[in-house]
Amino acid sequence: MKNLTKQFPWSVIGGLTVLLSACGGGGDSSPTTSAQQTKFAPAQIAFAARENGQPVDCTSTLTTVGTAANSSQLRDLRFYVSDVRLVTTQGQEVPFTFDTGSTVAANQTDNLALVSLIDNPNGTLGECVQATAFSVLSGTAPQGTYNGIRFTIGVPQSLNHSDTTSTSTPEPLKVQSMAWSWQSGRKFVKAEFNPTSGVQRPNNVSATTWNFHLGSTGCQTPAGLTPDNAVCSNSNRLTVSLDNFNPDKDQIILDLNALLAQSDITTDQGGALGCMSGSTDADCPSLFKVLGLTIQQDGSVTRDGPANFFSVLKNVR
């Protein structure tokens, strides 16, 4: 399987995606099947991370991510996925229903999963030490033929500010390293890199890790209420829309080159180390562009389009 993926020409994928999305908007609106007739079938959504088309894990030496020529190593690579919809060949969106219950991995709950692409037990850095992999969502979808997927990167607002230790909190939200007390919420994405050269800070002090933490910001708990009621001015949830995706055969690739295409992970321009979603953090604007987000002068964040650091890898399952 690995050989197959290695040989796959990436430029072709990009081209195909563009072509398909160009002709996918025909709006073939076939009549909806009534509820009684709908049959559901098991479905899986597989994720993986790649650098330059090659699979990566905690032991990989990354050589091409970021704008500076420098090698680096993964320290963490996890994100929350919710609101997954598959797109039929007729262009209809149908919900992917997450499996729940005691037989399902703790990373997954109703309509939410913590995807963890740090899957090598020999990792030595950060969260890689624990290396809890979870890359395949399990669920059901109406029987049919699919060639597209839509999903959200982030935790739904109704769950984002939940207590991290309560017995009533779903398991994926009890993961402390994804908790974000700064906003009484969760990090939606936690991607961390250790460049071999270290990270140069403005004060000439070197640090070891360049962090990307995404989450809702500008949060405030209304007066007199508890933090689970926090409201945020910047949702910072990402929408991902991929065409030419067949859940039975394809993988969704987090493309590290695309994610860091505008970021120099060997330097930090001030504020939090790397980009931790602060509106005044100089490392965020260029990275946010890749996410489809724009940080405005007044600190607000607007969504201009879909995130474009995910792609589809065909026929690898």
Partner 1 sequence: MSGKYFLIFTLSLLVAACGSEGGSGGSGNSSHSHQVASGLPGETGFPAAVVPANAKVGSAAFELGRSLFYEKRLSGNGQQACASCHQQDKAFTDGLARAIGSTGELHPRNTQSLANVAYNSTLTWVNPTLTSLERQMETPLFGTEPVEMGINDVNKEEVLQRLRSDPALVSQFETAFPEQVSNGRMGVALVDFDNIISAISTFQRELISSNSRYDKYLDGNGDLTPQELRGLALFNGEKAECFHCHGSFNFNDQVQFIGQVPEPPQFHNTGLYNIDGKGGFPEPNVGLIEFTGSPQDMGKFRAQSLRNVELTAPYMHDGSMSSLEEVVEFYSSGGRVIASGANAGDGRKNPYKSDLIVGIGFTDQEKSDLVAFLKSLTDREFTQNPRFARPN
Interface residues toward partner 1, by CB under 8 A: 127, 129-130, 161, 163-167, 175-177, 179, 181-185, 203, 217-230, 233-234, 270-272, 278-280, 295, 298-300
Place of tokens 């394809």: 250
**What gap in Å lies between CA 148 and CA 28, rounded to an integer?**
14
Q: Which neighbouring-strand residues pair with 74?
A: 193
Closer residue to partner 1 in complex, CB, 60/116: 116
- The answer to whether 292 and 214 have CB atoms below 8 angstroms apart is no
Q: Which is nearer to partner 1, 173 or 253 (CB)?
A: 173
Q: Tell the smallest beta-carbon distance from residue 177 to partner 1 (Å).
A: 5
CA 109 to chain centre: 16
Q: How far is the CB of 96 from partner 1 (least distance, A)?
A: 27
C-alpha to C-alpha distances, 74 to 59, 115, 118, 154, 177, nearest whole angstrom: 8, 15, 8, 21, 16
Q: Give the nearest distance from C-beta 132 to partner 1 in angstroms.
A: 8
Q: CB 221 → partner 1: shortest distance, Å?
A: 4
At its nearest, how many Å lie between partner 1 and the CB of residue 184?
A: 4
Shortest distance in whole angstroms from residue 128 CB to partner 1: 11
Nearer to partner 1, 42 or 298 (CB): 298
> Which of 147/209 has CB closer to partner 1?
209
Q: Give, in order, the Cα–Cα distances in Å from 64 to each of 51, 71, 122, 306.
A: 7, 7, 22, 24
d(CA 285, CA 36): 49
C-alpha to C-alpha distance for 198 and 210, rounded to whole angstroms: 9
Hey, how many other C-beta atoms are within 10 angstroms of the C-beta on 290?
18
